[in-house]
Structure 1
């Protein structure tokens, strides 16, 4: 049998010469960093540890830029944000046992938010594997089992020759839609052993596109073209696939109102006549979406926060476009289309018929008006003033990273992100401590624009150590800490449910003095001076802290 196209790549004479005469003094750690460079990585995050030193030593012989954080969980959050901002897989280098396990909460957030993080962890020496009986420091009985429930894929290395292929497979997995974290595990002795293997050069690990089936998009196009009251829910998949332009064109072609999920902030223009904005925790919005005869859900699994706490009950036909196969029709029966959001929206845009509905924009105004009346009746002027001040000071193209705090809960519904991919929060998994280290990772990705982090005083205490990281790398991050003396949202939940709160009140430091002790300029602000103080901080070239003492309240729930 003959083939017209020979898939075998034949090395050049120079490549052959280099392969036959690799430089001396290399080890398994060098294979790791060479593979990362060959895949296109430029920056790695992490924290060194005993079993991982072979990787970290190899960094000094590589062109990779290393950014070290003070806690592995925070390093994971930084890598998560770097992956979200760049769309590239973010390498995260970790040590065995406690170091590896400290990253799990961050990797859970990356999994929930589809952020491409390539975690590479060490392991005890090969001779010690198999049961946790050997007494090695940091030893776990089955370390990879700790990651299997969280990451997209696990890749186990046991010999040096396996390193390049394992990392390349992990890289491809992380960047295949839906993006997500992956885990590579390499024993200490494999990382330290000298190798005569050739230097790893360019690696090809291009992920395959998740293409919609044409017969499904044909049915979806027919449903949407003939709908009387179509509506669209746009999730984070629209932002991650860079499909905001396609979404806008399709909505305008169909005259279909659009609401964005909290993960899809910025996917649709906030002030557009068809924009229902992000008021998903409002019954007026939920009722409107339930009344649609055809509802297009793009890049969302319609989970708890996107379905008004699972009270959403659509009465019409649902068309769901989702790259994560496990989320397809997981919450509502639908015409399920397993596809990347951009590719599916492109197909629909080419096949739907244009429809005109002069009442669509009027319906949107009615819904938003009803939402506004409800919010205005609750005397929440302070909260809206503070959120407006943040929006006024923050440059349109600057990314913001929000911890699990009351101001962030407001921002999910009420903050105009203005650009796709500029507002990020920990609402995927909901762990504390995300905002500041994630903002540091975003600043590493792009130092040309200031980055905002927002935390409460409780969440801020998870990340205080990273003030040293911000100062060490001189990262342009402004950290807004809303200090209400405790876990504010839990205080509200417990008071509402039990009549009083327990375990929510916190002693805390003088955040201004603490930041200044790290060499980070800080200021205590007020609601009236917040916008000016934030603007001044954004203009400052390095890190800064703005502390706002304020007791904020949430708007009343409407899903009950």
Structure 2
């Protein structure tokens, strides 16, 4: 049979190492989907385009591979933008391949095509690292190879390639694509003089503190290098919400991840030298703008534009692992540590004790017990996904990832990531994943129960049903004395899951740990519904 642009696309992806594709068919994209039938790629059929990207995001976070999405023109492509924003903010490598109207209509040259946008790429530019339009099938392999490399180059992120309908369907003379290289640049190393200056500051510090952000977790080898440098400096390590797990919470130098607690902010402010790794000092990390460092701050990040964007810093433009290695190597020449340096382990233990005492004074035993019961129920190596819900706000600080992955939507803060991302993780890793959402967030992705059932994905989905947008209810009540538009009509989640053919379990706060643990002895999807109203902790 003849080959077309769709075949060239799937051949290129296969040559690049792709094994799975997420997405939804559409009129202009039919050439892509017909070509999958003739390929070895496994297709995961979502029900909403936004959830296709979330699933590819979860796949990428847990496999270390690029998550690939096929999407249709116009409404389909636009529906995916919210999830692309999360992948962009969280530095997750996703390759979005969307169709386009035929070439003669691009740029509005002709009007009246179904799904037509005069400049579809413009919609994607705010939420992707790069965008491209392919106008000839011969260019597909090279464009996809460049996009594949760009998605993975630190800082990683989503990329956008659109291919017009006629390019996908036209017969091609392009030879079958059997080999394709995508050269991912080596991680950026710091300039030697900058690494030496950072080492000099740290060597002379009496109260050094390390702040570990999500960039540490994303950088290969950085968590181990972080622990080694912290031990050399005897410095306590605070983790951001995105960096939770960068250092084991059980390590004596771990000061925890209670980044929103004022005691933690005080510790960061009091450091005479603060080494911030892979964090932009964003809204949550800066404790909502209240953090004001009094000492010298060193900021390491692979993304040049975040350096110094919120505070006066010694900016180190580099990958976290490379920077940690070079700074550690420069320490011996920077001079001996001062004898007056405090014990990092004592500082970390004191901070954890003060935070725990504050929590214990607030009548939050139910919330603390829930997190403890879930931690005991979920195997240590499980990839966990937390939607924007009160339980997740607790988990940012209270969840110990141990040997598993801890993934949240905290980067951009949108609803709906948890469940579809867990589907992507389950499909990609072949291991059972765990997702937690509220009832409000659950409705963003409820249709993906069909996806989980269709692909028999191994995952447990915990829905905490408090009858509304719980975190917004707390925010509004705190700010205005009462909440508006936060209470929600919702389905009977148990009966709804049953209608999809999903094993479902009703739980209580007393039984939820055992119920969740039981699902890990099963295969395929399972849903647990917990009616409960949780409260947020006060951080001051």
Q: Shorter-chain TM-score category?
A: over 0.9
Q: How many residues align?
A: 533
Alignment of 1:15-164 (within 5 A): 24-131=1-108, 133-164=110-141
User: C-alpha separation between the residues in 2 aligned to 1:474 and 1:77?
Assistant: 18
Matched-pair contact (CA < 8 Å) for 1:132–1:140? no
Residue 443 of structure 1 corresponds to: 426
Matched-pair contact (CA < 8 Å) for 1:100–1:121? yes
1:132 Cα deviation after fit: 7.1
Residue 240 of structure 1 corresponds to: 218
What are the Cα deviations for residues 117-143 of structure 1, in whole angstroms up to 9, with x where unaligned? 000000000111122751111001110
Q: Give the secondary structure class of the aligned counterpart of 2:127.
A: coil
- Which consecutive residues of structure 1, in runs of 5 or more, have no partner in the other structure? 1-23
Residue 550 of structure 1 corresponds to: 532
User: C-alpha separation between the residues in 2 aligned to 1:349 and 1:467?
Assistant: 48
1:57 Cα deviation after fit: 0.5
What are the Cα deviations for residues 496-547 of structure 1, in whole angstroms up to 9, with x where unaligned? 1111111111111111111111111011101111111000012111110000
What are the Cα deviations for residues 98-155 of structure 1, in whole angstroms up to 9, with x where unaligned? 0100100000000000000000000000111122751111001110100011100011
User: C-alpha separation between the residues in 1 aligned to 2:19 and 2:539?
Assistant: 45
Alignment of 1:255-266 (within 5 A): 255-266=234-245
TM-score normalised over the length of structure 2: 0.97
1:74 Cα deviation after fit: 0.3
Matched-pair contact (CA < 8 Å) for 1:224–1:294? yes
| Match status 1:460 vs 2:442 | yes
1:330 Cα deviation after fit: 1.0
User: C-alpha separation between the residues in 1 aligned to 2:494 and 2:65?
Assistant: 35
What are the Cα deviations for residues 44-93 of structure 1, in whole angstroms up to 9, with x where unaligned? 11111000010111111111111111110000001111111122211111
1:359 Cα deviation after fit: 2.4
Q: Give the secondary structure class of the aligned counterpart of 1:280.
A: coil
User: C-alpha separation between the residues in 1 aligned to 2:265 and 2:479?
Assistant: 24
What are the Cα deviations for residues 444-470 of structure 1, in whole angstroms up to 9, with x where unaligned? 1111x3211000001001111111111
What are the Cα deviations for residues 304-338 of structure 1, in whole angstroms up to 9, with x where unaligned? 11111121111111111101111111111111111
User: C-alpha separation between the residues in 1 aligned to 2:114 and 2:344?
Assistant: 64
Residue 11 of structure 1 corresponds to: none
Q: Give the secondary structure class of the aligned counterpart of 1:411.
A: helix
Q: Give the secondary structure class of the aligned counterpart of 2:285.
A: helix
Q: Give the secondary structure class of the aligned counterpart of 2:120.
A: coil
Residue 394 of structure 2 corresponds to: 410
RMSD of aligned Cα (Å): 1.2
Residue 299 of structure 1 corresponds to: 278
Matched-pair contact (CA < 8 Å) for 2:207–2:342? no
Residue 519 of structure 2 corresponds to: 537
Matched-pair contact (CA < 8 Å) for 2:216–2:223? yes
Residue 211 of structure 1 corresponds to: 189
User: C-alpha separation between the residues in 2 aligned to 1:415 and 1:288?
Assistant: 21
Residue 501 of structure 2 corresponds to: 519
TM-score normalised over the length of structure 1: 0.94
Mean Cα deviation higher: 387-396 or 201-210:
201-210
Q: Give the secondary structure class of the aligned counterpart of 2:184.
A: coil
- Which consecutive residues of structure 2, in runs of 5 or more, have no partner in the other structure? none
User: C-alpha separation between the residues in 2 aligned to 1:472 and 1:278?
Assistant: 38
Residue 20 of structure 1 corresponds to: none
2:300 to 321, 332, 350: 321
User: C-alpha separation between the residues in 2 aligned to 1:218 and 1:359?
Assistant: 24
1:349 Cα deviation after fit: 2.2
1:270 Cα deviation after fit: 0.2
1:344 Cα deviation after fit: 1.1
What are the Cα deviations for residues 243-278 of structure 1, in whole angstroms up to 9, with x where unaligned? 111111110011010011111111001011111110
User: C-alpha separation between the residues in 2 aligned to 1:263 and 1:297?
Assistant: 13
User: C-alpha separation between the residues in 1 aligned to 2:52 and 2:64?
Assistant: 17
User: C-alpha separation between the residues in 1 aligned to 2:406 and 2:246?
Assistant: 10
Matched-pair contact (CA < 8 Å) for 2:438–2:466? yes
Residue 269 of structure 2 corresponds to: 290
Runs of 4 or more above 6 Å deviation = none
| Match status 1:200 vs 2:180 | no
1:431 to 378, 391, 414: 414
Matched-pair contact (CA < 8 Å) for 1:132–1:139? no
